[in-house]
Amino acid sequence: MKTFNTAGPVRPDGHYSIPPLSRWDTEEIYRLIAEERYFVLHAPRQTGKTSCLLALMEQLNTEADYTALYVNLEPAQAARGDMASGMRIILDALVAAADQYLADRILPEIAQELIATQSPGSLLREGLRRWCRRLEKPLVLLLDEVDSLVGDTLISVLRQIRAGYPDRPQAFPQTVLLCGVRDVRDYRIHNGDNQVITGGSAFNIKSKSLRLGNFSHGDVATLYAQHTEETGQVFEAGMTDYVFGQTAGQPWLVNALGYEACFEMKTGRDRSRPISLTTMADTREKLIERRDTHLDQLGDKLREARVQRVIGRILADTVEETVGADATIPEDDLQYVEDLGLIRVRPQLAIANPIYREVIPRTLTWTTQVLIPEETAWYVKEDGRLDLPKLLAAFQQFFRENGDSWANRFDYKEAGPQLVMQAFLQRIVNSGGRIDREYGLGRRRTDLLVQWPLDEAQGFYGSVQRAVIELKILHKSLEATIAEGLAQTVDYMDRVGTDEGYLIVFDRTPEVSWEEGEHRIGVWGM
């Protein structure tokens, strides 16, 4: 039985899948190989890079022109800056891969000779040189997880490949493809003198960098149609639009939603029942709350200074207010965070997809949520609705007494007030509600949509209270900020179809004015 793949390379016999080689320009790959080029393939984690490399190796080896070999270098990460140990691990990986995929018996003999006679800093170059001279066809070497290597081990790998480059194809691989999350130009290597060497300078023979993209809308439709063909279970109309909209085609997310909805959820395992949009929305929430390995890895990246400089600006929307040396986000930081898959830069800078947009603030505020001493029951009225005016009044008092100290607990201090607010709300709605978020540079606001089921038995299948909460930082006069905020709040209320809205204005100046306006939208000063 086939299923959706959420771990490791795709196996077409066991997984619903998009043909890996259809996801890139195969004609271009073949041209680069024919021209004896060395190049890079990079993309965020769990996008399908390894599946593409394995498929390319298999296809090349069924043809007559080349010998192709895939090697995963990640085991050498454990050696970190111990180059001698790292290079021995890499040589072992090369030998094991040649045995696994090519049933090769030449390389083990070469490796034994090298370990006895060569220095660690020449093991890879000399091993490839001797092996290529004995192969019948030119070698295409596909090296995966290259950017997982650290320090001197990474420097040595890049420089040994660069040193052997002039000897191709008779005495060195005709083509070497380096694969990882980042482009080689973004490798940052600290040498023994505590100086930074970029991968571009250590590997200046690269001719091109290719990026593996997300699934297209058509790919998502094809993948889910395979489940229907396999099991007979159908998806409600609009499912492809919903899944693509929530994931932007990120392959792991697309597969994880499908697996959770069709195989993990009890109702989804009944193949006679269609997968509804409401079921998929529940699935999305479970995925966000559970924070599986893929999402947890993204959360871990949020602690990096380079990531904070980008994500912090998006969360706080402070770019237009910043002047001087910090007026722009460094290009290298933008490129790095884009390579991680956390953001997109076109058509405008924003978090990469709505699911990441939820995961990021929840990750940043998790500890704060736990520590805030509030209970949901205090804010639920007799009719089951959330008493949002009461809730916001409580937060106003909380923020008045504790705002600075709590906001300063975040690494993302520019976005501290908004994050405290979101932590406060998230703690209240965790018992059954949801919060959807929208934010992006240049909009000067964060849009929150609180959704609260009014019938516990029916949950989100029944009647739901929907309320907009607009968060703004006071950046000009209070009157102008409120006027702008009211217009934005009304616009968001119209878009999501609710008549309940609240505008929160944070004033970061020492003397805060606490006001409440006379609008149909509640206006709260913080």
Q: What is the pLDDT of residue 374?
A: 67
Q: How confident is the model at residue 65 (pLDDT cuts 50, 70, 90)?
A: very high
Measured distance CA(56)–CA(70) in Å, rounded: 9
Which one has a higher pLDDT value, 99 or 410? 99
Cα-based distances in Å from 49 to 140, 147, 430, 516: 16, 13, 36, 53
Residue pair 251/265 in contact by the 8 Å Cβ criterion: no
Q: Give φ, ψ of 447 to 5 degrees.
A: -100, 125
Report, as an integer, the average pLDDT of 65-84: 94
Residue pair 432/453 in contact by the 8 Å Cβ criterion: yes
The three-state secondary structure class of 449 is strand
**Would the pLDDT of 516 be above 50?**
no
Query: 147-176: per-residue pLDDT in tens?
Result: 899 888 999 999 999 999 999 999 999 999
Q: What is the pLDDT of residue 196?
A: 47
Domain locations in the chain? 20-211, 217-290, 361-525
**Would the pLDDT of 50 be above 70?**
yes
**Would the pLDDT of 514 be above 50?**
no
- Burial class of 196 by CB neighbour count within 10 A (0 to 12, 13 to 18, 19+): exposed
Report, as an integer, the average pLDDT of 211-237: 96
**Would the pLDDT of 429 be above 70?**
yes
Name the least confident of 54-58, 97-101, 358-362.
358-362
Q: How confident is the model at residue 298 (pLDDT cuts 50, 70, 90)?
A: confident
Domain topology for 20-211: Rossmann fold (3.40.50)
Cα-based distances in Å from 250 to 139, 365, 436: 32, 24, 19
Report, as an integer, the average pLDDT of 101-118: 94
Helix-strand-coil split of the chain, %, nearest 5: 55, 15, 30
Query: 170-202: per-residue pLDDT in tens?
Result: 999 999 999 998 887 766 554 444 444 554 455
Q: Beta strand pairing status for 350-351 and 139-144?
A: unpaired
Report, as an integer, the average pLDDT of 96-112: 96
Name the least confident of 133-142, 201-210, 350-359, 490-499.
201-210
**Would the pLDDT of 421 be above 80?**
yes
Measured distance CA(395)–CA(403) in Å, rounded: 10
b/e map 171-194, b = 16+ CB within 10 Å: ebbbbbbbbbbbbbbbbebeeeee
Measured distance CA(317)–CA(262) in Å, rounded: 38
The whole-chain average pLDDT of the chain stands at 86
Taking Cα atoms as reference points, which of 183, 218, 178 lies closest to residue 23?
218
Report whether the peptide linkage leading into residue 169 is cis, meaning its omega lies within 30 degrees of zero: yes
Report, as an integer, the average pLDDT of 26-52: 94
Tokens 């501290």 belong to residue? 416
Most confident of 39-53, 179-193, 282-296: 39-53
**Would the pLDDT of 215 be above 90?**
yes
Q: How confident is the model at residue 324 (pLDDT cuts 50, 70, 90)?
A: very low
Residue pair 262/269 in contact by the 8 Å Cβ criterion: yes
Measured distance CA(5)–CA(2) in Å, rounded: 9
Sheet strands (E) in 311-420 = 343-344, 350-351
Which one has a higher pLDDT value, 248 or 426? 248
Measured distance CA(127)–CA(108) in Å, rounded: 10
Give kind and range of the element (H or E) at residue 42.
strand 38-42
The three-state secondary structure class of 32 is helix
Give kind and range of the element (H or E) at residue 484.
helix 478-496
* Side-chain half-sphere CA neighbours of 263 within 13 A: 15
Report, as an integer, the average pLDDT of 198-226: 83
DSSP state of 503: E
Query: 17-37: per-residue pLDDT in tens?
Result: 999 999 999 999 999 999 999
Taking Cα atoms as reference points, which of 55, 61, 42, 45 lies closest to residue 8?
45
Name residue 434's beta-bridge partners: 451
Give kind and range of the element (H or E) at residue 451.
strand 446-453
Cα-based distances in Å from 227 to 1, 22, 269: 10, 20, 12
Q: What is the pLDDT of residue 508?
A: 64
CB atoms closer than 10 angstroms to residue 322: 14
Tokens matching residue 6? 């959420």
